């Protein structure tokens, strides 16, 4: 039997050429640009933060795929959650994620984000990241090497190009109540009631 | 000369500057990568980035003044470009006969100032810090550049860039006649291009890309596009002032790209100055060179 | 002359120490009553030269219904550490803060308050430190059952295997590998024999 996250990963990676949400030349071009240029906000939460610098510097050179670091969440397309998340960090992650401009994606790095990893019996870390924010791609391993991270990026690019439905940020907006409920379960009541950018998107 | 020719020419110039600027900045990243033993992004990467940003949502709203910032910036750079002599043969029927050097110098500062207002509205501390750094650096940058410009103007006895170009047609280019002035201006120029030793404004590690830190989506895309245009305009200004302008497109590309290569190489080799170091350096060495150059006129 | 060894008679003369345990040449533990710990500590700081507070730790002796608080000091010039310990009741007993002597005690005491629920009197700010919004038992008390807490609050994805006997697993894998190698070798041999036949 396949392990749980593998099934999930398969679902994330499957070739869905038929499920193109919006076809047409303009959309194709837009998707092409999105795929070609990915700004990454590396949020160093756990051990995985140390794998990020080699990915972006001379040795592995992620820039050749158009992947480059962003300075602030406003400019970023992808947030890389690197490793275990304590409750305190989770709150910051949610805050950061909601500040990013859509379309936005999440890459979860390391087995800690998949199923608790080696912190499975810790009282202070969450076990499944995708209950709190929508994950678009996993890279498993403890710790995944930069090659694995690059592979995750390339799989994400494929996913963007195929425009599978629905991508993470859309799922988040649709099921915001469910996500909020899960977040409240671990973070306590004082979490923002509505999606951070609601007041902005309301008028449309 | 009708309004149509002016507009047509303006559009052509704008398009050319956009394409050239995008390619130059793409090459900038690629060449920098090669220096660092990387493969580097494709040449079109800057274009991809800006296009992607133009099709993105924004995540911020601080009122109209905030949104005006990038627009003012873009206006400044487009105007700068249009008021500069593009090709020598395009004297007739271009907007550039209306502007002179003073207007250009004013317009070059207008964009950043407008942006500063917008950043102030956003209230982001890093943005404000970036703007402060930018204004501090501007003091250092303008001193040697203005000295060089004064020298060039007094030689040609005119503040009209066409006259300066014409003077160079007769007597030979300014760079050879007045090398000290050229070097002084070159230092400032490297700073104006925002490349390495003087890139204190948008330092991503210290002030989180400074003035841009609150801009997202389309406005960031606009900022990137105007940056390409503005970069080309600055190159054009240097070519016009010191290298006698250009007769054909090929010559123009050759000249501007050579100049751009100089900034790339300087940027790759040197690390970033601190703010006060940058101002100190600019006020001392290039200014001194400029003053000596002025005295030797 | 070893400074810790020479400290022992002085300290035992002056105060009623319960024990002075010289663990190593450069490491000793002094156990005192709670009522005199400030005096001992002042003496250590002012006269004996233990000027640096390294850390404060807590040991939970749940069977004896007490917490043992350990203050670890380093000497000014010599290379040696001293641990000052005293016990408090597990519930309801508070301790005077040390922030008036060492400002760095602020964080350490906050941490202890969060992890063990010990109240420090006179501490400027006992707000939460690493945990936010924690309403459960302080997690480092021994009656706190981590596993039960985890099982109650989280669910795991299917397919997770816990408590696999690593040794047995390794043995099984080794046996598998061996069998495979053997089969391969045999196949090779047969093939070799076939070749020879031809
Ligand atoms: S998966 Fe492993 S390396 Fe990654 S954060 Fe968890 S324990 Fe650390």
Does A83 contact ligand 1 (Cβ within 6 A)? yes
Q: Residue C121 forms beta bridges with which residues?
A: C96
Over residues B96-114, mean pLDDT: 84
Residue A202 pLDDT: 44
Closest CA to A135 of A49, A3, A11: A11
Q: Quote the ipTM score.
A: 0.83
Over residues C169-182, mean pLDDT: 89
* Closest-approach residue (CA) in chain A for B40: A64
C3-132 homologous superfamily: NADH:ubiquinone oxidoreductase Nqo5 subunit (3.30.460.80)
Over residues B39-47, mean pLDDT: 91
Helix, strand, coil abundance in chain B, percent, nearest 5: 75, 0, 25
Contact call for residues C3 and C75 (beta carbons, < 8 A): yes
* Closest-approach residue (CA) in chain B for A39: B49
Q: Considering only the beta carbons, identify the residue of A30, A39, A63 that sits closest to B38.
A: A63
Chain C interface includes A116 (CB < 8 A): yes
Is the pLDDT at B151 greater than 80? The verdict is yes
Q: Which chains touch C (3 or more CB pairs under 8 A)?
A: A
Over residues B126-154, mean pLDDT: 88
Treating both helix axes as pointing N-terminal to C-terminal, what angle do B217-242 and B45-54 enclose, rounded to 10 degrees? 140
Q: What single-letter DSSP state applies at residue B188?
A: H
**With b meaning 16 or more CB within 10 Å and e meaning fewer, what string describes C103-128?**
eebbebbbbbbbbbebebeebeebee
Cα separation, C60 vs C49, in Å, equals: 29
**Who's near B231: CB < 8 A, 6+ residues apart?**
B21, B24, B25, B193, B260
Q: What single-letter DSSP state applies at residue C85?
A: E
Contact call for residues B130 and B210 (beta carbons, < 8 A): yes
**Who's near B77: CB < 8 A, 6+ residues apart?**
B111, B226, B227, B229, B230, B233
Establish whether the linkage from the previous residue to A103 is cis, with ω within 30° of 0. yes
Is the pair C, B in contact (3+ CB pairs within 8 Å)? no
Cα separation, A133 vs A99, in Å, equals: 13
**Who's near B55: CB < 8 A, 6+ residues apart?**
A30, A33, A34
* Mean pLDDT (10-residue bins), chain A, 204 residues: 55 49 77 91 84 88 89 89 88 87 88 86 87 88 88 90 78 85 82 54 42
Closest CA to C23 of C82, C107, C72: C82
Residue B15 pLDDT: 92
**What does the H/E/C string look like for B209-249?**
CHHHCCCCHHHHHHHHHHHHHHHHHHHHHHHHHHCCCCCCH
CA distance A102 to chain B (A): 6
Over residues B156-182, mean pLDDT: 87
Instruction: Write out chain A residues lying below 8 Å of B126, CB-based.
Output: 72
The predicted-structure confidence for A123-142, as pLDDT tens digits, reads as follows 888 888 888 889 988 888 88
The predicted-structure confidence for B241-269, as pLDDT tens digits, reads as follows 888 888 888 999 999 999 999 989 988 88
Surface-to-core class of residue C63, CB atoms within 10 Å of its CB (0-12 exposed, 13-18 middle, 19+ buried): exposed
- The reported pTM is 0.81
CA distance A136 to chain B (A): 18
What fold, for A5-14+38-186? Rossmann fold (3.40.50)
Supply the residue whose CA is at minimum distance from atom 3 of ligand 1. A143
Does A142 contact ligand 1 (Cβ within 6 A)? yes
Name which of B56, B66, B212 to mutate to probe chain A: the one with the most chain A Cβ atoms within 10 A of its Cβ. Answer: B56
Chain C interface includes A121 (CB < 8 A): yes
Over residues C179-197, mean pLDDT: 83
Is the pLDDT at B205 greater than 60? The verdict is yes
User: Considering chain B, what is the average pLDDT of its residues?
Assistant: 86
Long-range interactions of C77-82: CB distance < 8 A, separation 24+ = C77/C49, C78/C3, C78/C26, C78/C49, C79/C26, C80/C3, C80/C4, C80/C25, C80/C26, C80/C27, C80/C28, C81/C26, C81/C27, C81/C28, C81/C54, C82/C4, C82/C7, C82/C27, C82/C28, C82/C29, C82/C30, C82/C44, C82/C50
Establish whether the linkage from the previous residue to A143 is cis, with ω within 30° of 0. yes
Residue B93 pLDDT: 65
The predicted-structure confidence for C98-143, as pLDDT tens digits, reads as follows 888 899 899 999 999 999 989 999 888 888 888 877 888 888 998 8
| Dihedral sign for Cα atoms in the order B58, B61, B67, B69 | negative
Residue C120 backbone dihedrals phi, psi, to 5 degrees = -105, 120
Residue ranges of domains in chain C: 3-132
Instruction: Write out chain B residues lying below 8 Å of A198, CB-based.
Output: none
Instruction: Write out chain A residues lying below 8 Å of B199, CB-based.
Output: none
Distance C135 CA to ligand 1 centre (A): 27
DSSP labels for B3-47?
A: HHHHHHHHHHHHHHHHHHHHHHHHHHHHHHHHHTT-----TTHHH
Contact call for residues A93 and A133 (beta carbons, < 8 A): yes
Residue ranges of domains in chain B: 3-295
Does A94 contact ligand 1 (Cβ within 6 A)? no
Pocket test for ligand 1, best of A80, A84, A126 (most atoms within 8 A of CB): A84
Instruction: Write out chain A residues lying below 8 Å of C139, CB-based.
Output: 123-124
Closest CA to A31 of A163, A155, A152: A163
C66, two tokens: 């007490």
């Amino acid at each position: 039997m396949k392990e749980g996250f593998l099934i999930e990963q398969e679902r994330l990676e499957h070739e869905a050429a038929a499920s193109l949400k919006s076809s047409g030349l303009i959309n194709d071009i837009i998707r092409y640009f999105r795929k070609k240029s990915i700004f990454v906000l590396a949020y160093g939460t756990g051990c995985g933060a140390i794998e990020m610098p080699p990915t972006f510097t001379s040795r592995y050179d992620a820039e050749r795929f158009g992947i480059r670091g962003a300075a602030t969440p406003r400019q970023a397309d992808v947030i890389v959650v690197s490793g275990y998340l304590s409750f305190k960090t989770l709150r910051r992650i949610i805050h950061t994620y909601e500040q990013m401009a859509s379309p936005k994606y999440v890459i979860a790095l390391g087995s800690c984000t998949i199923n608790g990893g080696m912190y499975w019996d810790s009282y202070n870390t969450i076990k499944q990241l995708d209950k709190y924010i929508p994950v678009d791609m996993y890279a498993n391993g403890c710790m995944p090497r930069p090659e694995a991270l690059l592979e995750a990026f390339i799989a994400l690019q494929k996913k963007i190009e195929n425009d599978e439905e629905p991508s993470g940020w859309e799922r988040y907006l649709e099921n915001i109540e469910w996500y909020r409920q899960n977040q409240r379960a671990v973070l306590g009541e004082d979490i923002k009631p509505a999606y951070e950018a609601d007041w902005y998107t309301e008028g449309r | 000369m009708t309004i149509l020719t002016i507009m047509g020419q303006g559009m052509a110039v704008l398009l050319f500057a956009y394409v050239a600027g995008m390619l130059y900045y793409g090459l900038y990243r690629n060449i920098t990568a090669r220096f660092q033993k990387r493969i580097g992004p494709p040449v079109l990467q800057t274009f991809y980035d800006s296009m992607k940003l133009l099709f993105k949502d924004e995540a911020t709203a601080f009122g109209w003044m905030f949104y005006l910032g990038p627009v003012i910036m873009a206006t400044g750079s487009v105007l700068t470009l249009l008021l500069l002599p593009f090709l020598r043969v395009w004297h007739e029927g271009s907007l550039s006969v209306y502007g002179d050097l003073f207007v250009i110098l004013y317009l070059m500062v207008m964009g950043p100032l407008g942006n500063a207002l917008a950043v102030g509205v956003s209230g982001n501390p890093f943005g404000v810090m970036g703007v402060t750094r930018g204004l501090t650096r501007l003091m250092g940058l303008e001193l040697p550049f203005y000295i060089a410009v004064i020298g060039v103007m007094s030689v040609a006895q005119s503040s009209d860039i066409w006259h300066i170009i014409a003077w160079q047609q007769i007597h030979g280019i300014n760079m050879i006649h007045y090398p000290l002035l050229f070097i002084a201006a070159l230092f400032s120029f490297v700073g104006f291009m925002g490349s390495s030793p003087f890139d204190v404004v948008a330092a991503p590690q210290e002030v989180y890309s400074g003035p841009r830190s609150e801009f997202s989506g389309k406005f960031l895309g606009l900022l990137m596009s105007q940056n390409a245009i503005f970069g080309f305009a600055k190159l054009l200004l240097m070519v016009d002032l010191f290298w006698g302008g250009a007769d054909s497109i090929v010559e123009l590309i050759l000249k501007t790209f050579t100049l751009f290569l100089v900034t790339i190489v300087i940027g790759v080799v040197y690390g970033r100055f601190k703010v006060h170091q940058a101002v100190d350096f600019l006020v001392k060495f290039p200014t001194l060179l400029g003053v000596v150059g002025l005295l030797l006129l | 002359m070893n400074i810790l060894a020479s400290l022992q008679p002085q300290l035992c003369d002056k105060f009623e120490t319960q024990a002075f345990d010289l663990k190593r040449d450069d490491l000793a533990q002094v156990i005192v009553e709670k009522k005199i710990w400030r005096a001992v500590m002042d003496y250590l700081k002012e006269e004996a030269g233990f000027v640096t507070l390294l850390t404060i730790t807590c040991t939970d002796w749940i069977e004896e219904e007490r917490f043992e608080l350990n203050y670890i000091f380093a000497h000014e010039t010599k290379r040696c550490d001293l641990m000052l310990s005293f016990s408090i009741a597990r519930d309801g007993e508070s301790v005077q803060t040390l922030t008036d002597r060492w400002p760095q005690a602020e964080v350490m005491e906050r941490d202890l308050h969060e992890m063990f629920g010990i109240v420090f009197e006179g501490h400027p700010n006992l707000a939460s430190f690493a945990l936010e919004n924690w309403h459960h038992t302080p997690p480092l008390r021994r009656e706190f059952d981590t596993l039960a807490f985890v099982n109650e609050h989280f669910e795991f994805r299917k397919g997770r295997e816990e408590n696999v006997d690593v040794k047995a697993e390794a043995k099984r894998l080794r046996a598998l590998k061996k069998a495979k190698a053997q089969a391969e070798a045999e196949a090779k041999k047969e093939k070799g024999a076939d070749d020879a036949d031809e």
